[in-house]
Structure 1
Amino acid sequence: MAMLRQVYNLMFKRTSTFALSIVLGTIFFEMVFDQAGDAVFEHINWGKLWKCIKHNYENNEEE
């Protein structure tokens, strides 16, 4: 209970800190969601991505 009161006093008591916590939480959530989506996409499509097949299409300097 004391911890909830401390969180309330630090973040939610004033409108400015409440708005700042919403903005920072949104930015953090967007970054995590974007990285998780990219990881799932790469896992599903592994072997079909450019970074996996790039060596098949690059011209070798020796040839």
Structure 2
Amino acid sequence: MSLINSVYRTLFRRSSTFALTIVVGVVVFERAFDQGADALFEHLNQGKMWKHIKHQYEQKEE
């Protein structure tokens, strides 16, 4: 119960800190979700993307 009270007193008691907590939480969630989705896309498309196969099509300069 003490943890809940301290979180309430620190983050949710005033409207300004509550709003700031929401904004920071949204930004952190968005970054984590975006990086997770990009990592999943990269994993599912390994070997199919240009950056993975461009060495097969580039000609070496002599």
Name the TM-score class by shorter chain.
over 0.9
User: What is the percentage of aligned positions where both structures have the same residue?
Assistant: 56
Q: Distance in 1 between matches of 2:18 and 2:44?
A: 39
Q: Distance in 1 between matches of 2:31 and 2:6?
A: 27
Indicate the residue corresponding to 2:12 in structure 1.
Answer: 12
How does 1:18-37 map onto structure 2 within 5 Å?
A: 18-37=18-37
Number of equivalent positions? 62
Q: TM-score, normalised by structure 1?
A: 0.92
Identify the residue that residue 44 of structure 1 maps to in structure 2. 44
How much does 1:50 deviate? Answer: 1.3
TM-score, with normalisation over the residues of structure 2? 0.94
Deviations 1:30-56 (A, max 9, x none): 000001100111111100011110111
